[in-house]
Amino acid sequence: MLTVKPAHAQRTWALDPFVSQGVDPGTVQTFRQLLGDELSAQDGGRVIQLQAPCADLSCAAAAGAQAGADVAVHGTLGRLGAKIVVSVSAADIAGGSWNGQPRASERMSVDRVEDLDAVASRMATALIGRQPVETTAELGNITHSEAKEPLRRRTRVGFLMNLQAIAPMAGYAGEQLGGGLEFGIWIETLHMAIEPRIGYRGDLVRGPDKYKHVPLELGLYYLPLLGDFSPLVGGGVGLHYLHEELTERQSVGEVLVSTSSVTVEDSIYGYSVYARAGLMVMRTYTASLLFSVDYALTVADFKRRDNEHGLRFNVGLVLGGSSR
């Protein structure tokens, strides 16, 4: 649940008896109670359940002002085919009067009664923060009609494809710029993600120096936010097959100098560790984008040089997912 911390004195919210249009009255009153509970929990104030029925926000504002409330809320739940349409509006009435402009007016549609608790949570956030209800979506309150699969309430398991650009700092066959393509599985909970993957990396510069890497890596990342955008931090470890060819020039003689070229070739296995920082976009969708930068260190027994390290720039695509 997205909690809005109040930076003000505690407000009193007055909720009129919501209007039922083809929806079971018990369901309407249950939603009204849920909304009141969410307003109290998120805003830290008091909620008054008005008894006099109201047909519009103006009536609710007048009744709320008489009750000494700061904000009046009017709601309607109507049936439209198989959908339930929830409309909620609020008016600021602190001081006992209303200027005629709504504080907020929002509408959501659901295709099953079980999603009304999520609607209540998001409506409360929208009313308190004066923001569109569309911006209150986060993992855990997405309704069935917004995302049939996955509902993203627990764990997402999807397919990952990652494009990579490599900027060496040492090693990589004479610090040759390179690129890579990786495939893997993306396993994501509310705040953590696990990423086993395999790929291919190679140099992108023509010349005698070249490298080919086949990495098998496992990453673990932290995702602090639950909305459509979240930073991503973490790291991982890996096992690599490394084939590199590096051309060295050798000189013989002092007066008559003879120069020749020798190719030093490595075909070895190595280990890697890396740190990653990035951004996940469209996190609540079944197709998400990942933008990240890695600092990677590879430890291996090269013939002519020490371990290699560099930066990796990644653009990833996560497809699919299911709620477990």
In Å, what is the CA distance from 46 to each residue of 4, 40, 116, 273, 304? 15, 6, 22, 52, 73
Task: Provide the pLDDT for residue 251.
Answer: 62
DSSP track, 124-185 = HHHHHHT--GGGG--TT---TTT-SS---SS-EEEEEEEEEEEEEEE-HHHH--EEEEEEEE
Q: Quote the percentage of the chain above a pLDDT of 70.
A: 86
Residue 201 burial (C-beta neighbours within 10 Å; 0-12, 13-18, 19+):
buried
d(C-alpha 266, C-alpha 241), whole Å: 10
| pLDDT tens digits for range 275-284 | 999 999 988 8
Share in percent of the chain as helix, strand, coil (round to 5): 15, 50, 35
Give 226's DSSP letter.
-
Task: Provide the pLDDT for residue 139.
Answer: 47
Report residue 228 CA to chain centroid gap. Answer: 5
Answer yes or no: is pLDDT of 170 > 50. Answer: yes
Name the region of 61 (left: φ>0; alpha: ψ -120 to 50; beta: rest).
Answer: alpha
Contact 143, 119 (CB under 8 A): yes
Q: Quote the percentage of the chain above a pLDDT of 90.
A: 40
| pLDDT tens digits for range 6-29 | 445 688 998 999 999 988 899 999
Q: Which residues contact 134 (CB under 8 A, 6 or more apart)?
A: none
Q: Which residues contact 101 (CB under 8 A, 6 or more apart)?
A: 91
Answer yes or no: is pLDDT of 76 > 50. Answer: yes
